[in-house]
Amino acid sequence: MEKRFIYADNAATTRVSDKVLEAMLPYFTTAYGNPSSIYKLGRDAQRDVEDARARVAKAIGADPNEIFFTSCGSESDNWAIKGTAERLAKKGKKHIITSVFEHHAVLHTTQYLEKQGFEVTYIPVDEKGLINPEDIRNAIREDTALVTVMYANNEIGTIQPIDEIAQICREKKVIFHTDAVQAVGHVEINVHEQGIDMLSLSGHKIHAQKGIGALYVRKGIVLPNLIHGGGQERNKRAGTENVPAIVGLGVAVEEAVKNISEKAAIITPRRNKLIDGILQLPYTRLNGDRDKRLPGNLNISIEGIEGESLLLMLDMNGICASSGSACTSGSLDPSHVLLSIGLKHEVAHGSLRLSIDENVSDEDVDYILEVIPKVVERLRSMSPVWEKMMKGEKYE
Ligand SMILES: *Cc1c(COP(=O)(O)O)cnc(C)c1O
């Protein structure tokens, strides 16, 4: 079997596409004007920033003046949540609702707000990794300032009932924000039709560069300024625009939403083949609902092994994968997402996430399915936990 290089970690980051890179390059060398400058070089840059804003807006069904460029998805989440909290606390609203399995960009922000005197309700998820919208309805109070629930989970790929949640928030007149960093380009989104008030997205998950993101804020919602200074981003977020990155984001978002169903039709059967192939191994389970999940995501627990060792062995075989999220690997705590769907610590530790895009070919899938059983067998043969499991002894 010939060694391959396979990038199956697109939920962690993606390669900048050729089209995005090509669109960006002139802004480093010839079209380098400051969008605030009065001469043509500056005005052209201004025009291209606004063109990118219009592209991002169109891709999610928003108006251009509802889009703010930020430096990343985390910044968008922070701004939406802290900004709303700051504004509505003045009206006595100091309660926030979120879910237990959000990205840390949301969870660490709400934890920070708890220290500032806010009360936060963390909605649980079921064993399939889905939120029940009725739980949100029941949690909403008079003093609820904000509901923030992710569109699709970054670890187990489950897609949440966003329309229902948005509808409930609308009825109850509570602002609804969603972290859609994993969903954009994989799920059809129309913020106006769906009743979404704020939405975060990030460039590097959709083949733009790292360090660029956007926040959609529905017209009529006024967030406090994020960065004080010049008049950029309609006075809300000062700092000279990152023109190349913004232009790249515009192209990337447009490309990402272009062929959502065609891409899914290619990726989903490959993803399913991977799931079925890996689940042939004994003592494995798929994490997250099988159908309500992102086309390219699979997350499987493999008992009797350590996720870290698995990743290193896969790396030696040319396969880039993940166990838990990139932010949590490196720490020994098992993923809060896997614990939230009821996995035991030792099972959560042996989990594998593959996130494929259309560049992972059928041959790549076959290669992955050849490598994984061998690697798992090897690791299990060295594992004291596995030995005890096989003898039917207690091993916790
Ligand atoms: C990657 C990710 C983020 C953070 O985006 P950055 O641009 O890396 O800050 C936030 N939320 C989710 C769901 C993500 O997957």
Q: Which of 15-24, 264-273, 274-283, 346-355 has the lowest mean pLDDT?
A: 346-355
**Which residue puts its alpha carbon closest to atom 6 of ligand 1?**
73
- Residue 360 confidence (pLDDT): 97
Can you give the pLDDT at residue 396? 58
pLDDT band at 331 (very low <50, low <70, confident <90, very high): low
| Among the listed residues 9, 47, 82, 57, the one whose alpha carbon sits nearest the alpha carbon of residue 250 | 57
Lowest average pLDDT, out of 86-95, 232-241, 284-293, 329-338, goes to: 329-338
Q: How confident is the model at residue 326 (pLDDT cuts 50, 70, 90)?
A: very low
- CA atoms of 388 and 121, how far apart (whole Å): 40
Ligand 1 pocket, residue 202 CB under 6 Å:
yes
CA 16 → CA 61, 204, 325, distances in Å?
A: 24, 7, 20
For the record, the structure tokens of 268 come out as 């989903």
Closest-CA residue, ligand 1 atom 5, reads 73
- Residue 76 in contact with ligand 1 by CB distance below 6 A: no
Residues 301/338, Cβ–Cβ less than 8 Å: yes
Q: Determine if ligand 1 sits within 6 Å of the CB of residue 72.
A: yes
Ligand 1 pocket, residue 52 CB under 6 Å? no
Work out the average pLDDT over 69-98. Answer: 98
Q: How many CB atoms lie within 10 A of CB 330?
A: 8
Q: Cβ contacts of residue 356 below 8 Å, gap of 6+?
A: 8, 10, 267, 270, 271, 274, 296, 365
Catalytic residues: 327
Q: Which of 308, 314, 312 is nearest to 278 (CA)?
A: 314
Q: What is the DSSP letter of 150?
A: -
Segment 228-236 mean pLDDT:
96
Which pLDDT score is estimated for 98?
A: 98
pLDDT beyond 90 at 1 = no
Q: Decide: 153 in ligand 1 pocket, CB within 6 A.
A: no
Average pLDDT of the residues in 63-91: 98
pLDDT for residue 395? 67
Q: Is the CB of 9 under 6 A from ligand 1?
A: no
Closest C-alpha to ligand 1, atom 15: 154
The residue whose C-alpha atom lies closest to atom 2 belonging to ligand 1 is 181
pLDDT at 327 over 60: no
179 lines ligand 1 (CB under 6 A): yes
Burial class (CB in 10 A: 0-12, 13-18, 19+), 277: middle
Q: Are 294 and 159 in contact (CB under 8 A)?
A: yes
Residue 213 CB–ligand 1 contact under 6 Å:
yes
Q: In degrees to the nearest 10, what's the CA dihedral of 285, 287, 291, 297? A: -110
Tell how far the Cα of 181 is from the centroid of ligand 1, in angstroms: 6
Measure the CA–CA gap between 390 and 292, rounded to whole angstroms. 34
CA of 304 from ligand 1 middle (Å) equals 30
**What distance in angstroms lies between residue 284's CA and the mean position of ligand 1's atoms?**
28
Atom nearest to 202 CA in ligand 1: 7
Q: Is the CB of 159 under 6 A from ligand 1?
A: no
What span, in angstroms and rounded, lies between the C-alpha atoms of 138 and 135? 5
Tokens representing residue 92 in the block: 């006595």
Ligand 1 contact via 35 beta carbon (within 6 Å): no
Does an H or E element contain 298, and which? strand 297-302
Q: How many Cβ atoms from other residues are within 10 Å of residue 282's Cβ? A: 12
Beta bridge partners of 178: 199
Distance in Å, CA 73 to ligand 1 centroid: 5
Overall average pLDDT of the 281-291 stretch: 97
| Residue having the nearest C-alpha atom to atom 14 of ligand 1 | 181
User: What backbone phi and psi angles, to 5 degrees, belong to 295?
Assistant: -55, -35
Ligand 1 center–CA 74 separation, angstroms: 6
Residue 245's pLDDT band (boundaries 50, 70, 90)? Answer: very high
pLDDT value of position 85: 98
State in Å: Cα 120 to ligand 1 middle.
21
pLDDT bucket at 234, cuts 50 / 70 / 90: very high
Q: Cα–Cα distance between 204 and 254 in angstroms, integer? A: 14
146 with 85: CB under 8 angstroms? Answer: yes
- Ligand 1 atom, smallest distance to 75 CA: 9
CB-based contacts of 189: which residues, under 8 Å, 6+ apart?
A: 59, 60, 61, 151, 180, 183, 196, 199, 257
**Ligand 1 contact via 205 beta carbon (within 6 Å):** yes
Report the candidate in 197, 157, 202, 159 with the shortest Cα–Cα distance to residue 178. Answer: 197
For a ligand 1 pocket test, name from 69, 179, 186, 335 the mutation site with the most ligand atoms within 8 angstroms of its C-beta: 179
Q: Quote the mean pLDDT of the chain.
A: 96
Return the ligand 1 atom nearest residue 180 CA: 13
CB–CB of 215/199 below 8 Å?
yes
